[in-house]
Structure 1
Amino acid sequence: MTPDATLPPHAPGRLPVVGHVMPLLRNRLAFMQQLRDHGDVVQIRVGPRPVFVVNSPELVWEILTAQSANFNKGRLFDKLRLFGGSPLPIAEGQQHLQRRRLMQPAFHRERINSYIDTMITTAEGALRSWGHGARLDVLNEMQLMAQGVVMSVLFSTNPDRDPAQAVMNGVDTVFQAAIRRAVVPVSAWERLPLPGNRKLRTANTVLRRTVSDIVAAHRADPEAPDDLVSLLLDARDEDGLPLDDDEILSEITALLAAGSETTAVTMAWLFHELSRHPDQEERLHQEVDTVLADGPLTADRLPLLGHTRRLVTETLRLHNPAWVVTRETNVPVRLGTAHLPAGADLIWSPYAIHRDPELYRDPLRFDPDRWLPERPQPPRGAYIPFGAGKRMCIGDGFTWAEATVLTALVASRWTLRPVPGTTVRPVPAITVHPSSLHMTAEARGRAAVREAA
C-alpha cells in the first residue's frame, strides 16, 4: 500500500491522499492502523466519495466534545435506521437530547446496581447448560448470554435458546447489511431482490415480531414491570403525545443490538486472551475464588474484583469492538490544519488508536496491569471504548457492570481451553469479532463438584 500522492502531512489546505480503499477491504484493520503514518487527517476514497480519516486522538476528542455540534452521526449510523425510526444511537439534535433524557433513568448508577441480581441469575441459567468437556462456540455463547441479560434486565423477558438464537441471528444480519451498505453506498442495490436483501427483510420481520410481542405483553399487563419498555410506553413528547409504535420498536431493537454485541465480543476476546496467558487466568481465578469464598456475587462485591475489571479494560483496549466510527460535517470545519467542507464524511478507528505505539507502550501486548493506578495513563482521547461527550454511549456503565459480572461468573465455574488447530483472527464487521473461537469447557469449583456427582 502506497500513497497516491506524497503531500506533506501538515501542508496548509492540503491533505495526504491514500489510495482507493476498495481493494483493501480484506485488510481493513491493517489499513486503518497504517494510515496514522500519513498524518493526523488523511483522505481516502470509499466508492465514489472522498472520506477523511482522523488519526489524532486529540482531534477525535475535539470532534466528540468541543465541536460535536458541527457533526452528525454519518453514513454508517444512517444505515442502522430500523422500522423507519431514529433510535437513540442515531438520533440527532433535539430529538437525541429528548430521547437521552427520557432513557437516562434506566442507566443511572443506582439503577444499574439494582440490575446485578438479575444479570447474575440470567447468566447462571446459561452457564448451567454447559457441560464438562463440551466444545463451545464461545462467541455465540457469549452473544446469547449478553442478549439474555439485556432482555431480562431491560425488557423483563428471557426467551428460550432457539428463539433467542433467531433474534441474535436477525441482529447480526441487520448489522452486516449496515456495514456493507455504508462501505459500498449504492442505494439502488438495496431495492433489488438479491439474496442479501431478502435475508435482511426476513431478519427485520423476526426482530419486529419479537419486539412487538414484548411491547404487547407490557400493554396487556396492568402490573407490567418497571423496566425500559414501560418507560418508553409511558413517555410523552413536548405535545403530550406518546411515542408511536415504530419509534418504540426501533428504540428497543437498537438497545437490544447495541447492548448485546459489545459485551459479547469483549467477553469472547477476553477468554481467548486468558487461554493465551495462563498467569492472568490464574490471577483471575484466585481473585474470584477469594471474593466469592464467603457468599455469592452481589453488587456490593463487584468493587472487590479489581483484576477482573482490569482484564475487561485491557480487552476493550487491545480488542476494541469499534474498528470504524463515522461522522459527517454539518458546516465547514477546521480540524488541526485540515479545512473540511460541509457534507464531508469522516471516520476514525478506536481499534487503531488503542493500538498506537505512540500512545501505548508495547501496544500489542495483553497487559491488564497497565491500568494499575500507579502506572502512567494514556492521554485524553487515547482510550475511548464508549466514545465521549454528549454522544457517549448511554449504556457504558451497564456494560462495565455486565462484563465484570460475566467474567467473574464464568471464571468461578469454568476454564475455557482452545480447541487445538484453531486459528483465531480478527474480523472487522460491525464490530471486530474473532473469526472462529471454539473452546472446550473444563469444570472448576462448584461446577466440577456438580459434574462429578
Structure 2
Amino acid sequence: MTADMHLPPIAPGKLPLLGHTLPLLKDRLGYVQRLRGYGPMVRLAIGPKSMTVINSHELLQEVLTRQSQHFNKGLLFDKLKIFGGDPLPVSEGKKHLNRRRVMQPALHREQVKGYMDTMVDTVEPFVSSWHDQDTLDVCNEMQLMAQGVVMSALFSSNPERGSAQEILHSVDTVFKAALMHAMVPISALERLPTPGNRRARVANTVLSKAITGIIADHRANPDAHDDLVSLLMTVQDETGNNLADDEVMGEITALLAAGSETTAVTLAWLFHELGQNPELERRLHEEVDSVVGEGQIGIEHIPQLAFTRRLIDETLRLHNPAWILTRRAISDVRIGEFDLPAGTDVMWSPYAMHRDADLFPDPLRFDPDRWLPERPQPPRGAFIPFGVGKRMCIGDQFSLTEAVVIAAYVAARWRLRPAPGSDVRPIPEITVHPSSLRMVAENRQHAVAGTAV
C-alpha cells in the first residue's frame, strides 16, 4: 500500500492510516512529498507499530515550540546513541539544557568571528590542490573541507587528507546504519552479522580511535589548546564529576557529523545549481570580486556577501539536507484537533515542506532572489533549515559562516562546470545528497581576457 491510494475524507480528530513502505521505496523523497496531500497529519503502519507524519507547518510549530515539553527526540535519535553517553543532539530534559548552556558560548555568533582565520587556513590547501580542468568529486571535496573546518576550529585537529577521508567514510557508514535501524525499527536486525552491520562496527572502531586520539592529546597537553574539546573536558555532570571520556567522545562525534555533513551537502548542491545557471554563477563571481577582491576573506566581508547568503538560503530550501526528523510523545497531548497518546512516534520532512507550492511559489525553481526583503516571504515556521525551538541547531551561525566562507573562497578562484554525461539525482540517506556530483574545475585566472567569468 502506498501514499498514492485514494482515501475517504478525514473525520475530525481521526488520522488516515497508510501501509508503511518507506524503507523499501526507491522514490522515498517523492513519497514524503506525496504524503502532504493527505492533510495535516497521516499515520504510517510499521508492522505492529505506526508513525504519525506531520505535514502542517502550524502543527509542527506546536510540536517543536508550544507543546515541546510533551515530546522527546524520538526514534531516529534513539538510534544515534551509538558512541556512549547522551550527546547534545540526543540528550533530554535538564541534561540537554545544561549541556547546551555550556557549549553555546563556543558556537555563539561573536565567538564564530574568531574562527574566520582558521576556516580560511583550513579551506585554502584543499582549493589550492585543484588543477585547471581537473574532474572533481565535488560532494567529497566539500565534505573534506567542512569536516576539516570543524576539526580545526573546534577540536584543534588537522589530520592529513588520507586520515581525514577515513574519518569521513566512517562517519558516513555509522550514521547510515543508524538511519536504517530507525526506519526499520526491529531490534533483532541490528544484532545480525549482516554486511551493513559489520561495516558499521568497523567504521565505529575507526572513528572511536580518531576521537580518542584527540581527547588523549588534549589531556596530555592541557595548556596547548583553547577549543570546544578543552571546554568539554572541564564540564561537570549532574554528580559534580568531570565528563567521562565516552561522554566527551559522544559530543565530539555528534558535532563532527552534524557540522560536516549538512554544510558540505548544502555546498555541493549549491555548486550543482550554479553549474546549471551561468547567470547566477556570474552574479556570485561579481559579488565576491567586488567585496573581497584579491585579498583574503575576513569577517567584515560576511555581511556584504548578501547574494552569496541568499544562494545558501535557497539551497537550504530546495535541497534541505533533512528529509526525515522525529519526535516521540512522552505524555498524552493534543496537537490541533488531533489527540496523540503517549508513545506516539512523530515524523516530518523539512525537505518536503520546503518544496510545498502552497508555501513557496514555483517551489522547484532555484531562485535566490525569493529571499529579497521586498519579495513575499513564506509563513512563519515554513522555512526551518536549522529547526526551531529549544532543540534548534546549536551550530547554525557556525554553519552559515562556514558555508559563506567556502562558497566565496571557491568562487573567487574557480568555475565548476558539470562533467560530460553527469546525471545528478538526490539520494536520501543521512542527508539528501547528490548521487554523484562530478564537475570540471576551470581556473578563473586562466580565463581568456575579456571573457565573463
| Greater CA drift, 208-217 or 15-24 | 15-24
Return the offset for 1:7: 3.5
Q: Which TM-score applies when normalising by structure 1?
A: 0.96
Instruction: Identify the residue that residue 13 of structure 1 maps to in structure 2.
Output: 13
The percentage of counterpart residues that share the same residue type is 60
Return the offset for 1:136: 0.5
Describe the SS at the equivalent of 2:50.
Answer: strand
Q: Which runs of 5+ in 2 are unaligned?
A: none
Return the offset for 1:333: 1.6
Describe the SS at the equivalent of 1:445.
Answer: helix
Whichever residue aligns with residue 391 of structure 1, its letter is: R
**Contact 1:5–1:16 at 8 Å: present in 2 too?**
no
Query: In the alignment, does 2:345 pair up with 1:345?
Result: yes
Query: In the alignment, does 2:429 pair up with 1:434?
Result: no
**Contact 1:170–1:206 at 8 Å: present in 2 too?**
yes
**Contact 2:57–2:381 at 8 Å: present in 1 too?**
yes
Q: Deviations along 1:155-196, whole A, 9 cap, x unmatched? A: 011100000000000000011101110111111121122221
Runs of 4+ that moved beyond 3 A: 1-5, 445-449
Q: Pairwise mapping of residues 70-81 of structure 1 onto structure 2 (< 5 A)?
A: 70-81=70-81
Q: Pairwise mapping of residues 239-250 of structure 1 onto structure 2 (< 5 A)?
A: 239-250=239-250
Whichever residue aligns with residue 235 of structure 1, its letter is: V
Return the offset for 1:446: 8.5
Cα distance in 2, alignment partners of residues 4 and 291 from structure 1: 53
Return the offset for 1:445: 3.5
Cα distance in 1, alignment partners of residues 22 and 221 from structure 2: 51
Instruction: Identify the residue that residue 205 of structure 1 maps to in structure 2.
Output: 205
Return the offset for 1:4: 5.9
Return the offset for 1:25: 2.3
Q: Size of the alignment, in residue pairs?
A: 448
Cα distance in 1, alignment partners of residues 400 and 446 from structure 2: 25
Cα distance in 2, alignment partners of residues 46 and 435 from structure 1: 27
Q: Deviations along 1:232-253, whole A, 9 cap, x unmatched? A: 0111134321001110111101
**Contact 1:412–1:445 at 8 Å: present in 2 too?**
no
User: Residues 94, 305 of structure 1: CA spacing in aligned structure 2 closer, same or farther, 3 A cutoff?
Assistant: same
| Greater CA drift, 353-362 or 80-89 | 80-89
Describe the SS at the equivalent of 2:420.
Answer: coil
**Contact 2:4–2:34 at 8 Å: present in 1 too?**
no
Q: Deviations along 1:132-168, whole A, 9 cap, x unmatched? A: 1111111011000000000000001110000000000
Return the offset for 1:200: 0.8
Whichever residue aligns with residue 6 of structure 1, its letter is: L
Whichever residue aligns with residue 179 of structure 1, its letter is: L
Cα distance in 2, alignment partners of residues 137 and 3 from structure 1: 36
Instruction: Identify the residue that residue 29 of structure 1 maps to in structure 2.
Output: 29
Q: Which TM-score applies when normalising by structure 2?
A: 0.96
Return the offset for 1:128: 1.1
Return the offset for 1:5: 6.8
Query: In the alignment, does 2:269 pair up with 1:277?
Result: no
Cα distance in 1, alignment partners of residues 328 and 141 from structure 2: 36
Q: Pairwise mapping of residues 177-192 of structure 1 onto structure 2 (< 5 A)?
A: 177-192=177-192
Instruction: Identify the residue that residue 267 of structure 1 maps to in structure 2.
Output: 267
Cα distance in 1, alignment partners of residues 357 and 7 from structure 2: 23
Return the offset for 1:42: 0.7
Q: Deviations along 1:102-128, whole A, 9 cap, x unmatched? A: 101101111000001110110011111
Instruction: Identify the residue that residue 374 of structure 2 maps to in structure 1.
Output: 374
Whichever residue aligns with residue 291 of structure 1, its letter is: V
Describe the SS at the equivalent of 1:82.
Answer: coil
User: Residues 278, 221 of structure 1: CA spacing in aligned structure 2 closer, same or farther, 3 A cutoff?
Assistant: same
User: Residues 422, 75 of structure 1: CA spacing in aligned structure 2 closer, same or farther, 3 A cutoff?
Assistant: same
Instruction: Identify the residue that residue 407 of structure 2 maps to in structure 1.
Output: 407
Q: Pairwise mapping of residues 211-360 of structure 1 onto structure 2 (< 5 A)?
A: 211-293=211-293, 295-360=295-360
Instruction: Identify the residue that residue 65 of structure 1 maps to in structure 2.
Output: 65
Whichever residue aligns with residue 72 of structure 1, its letter is: N
Return the offset for 1:448: 10
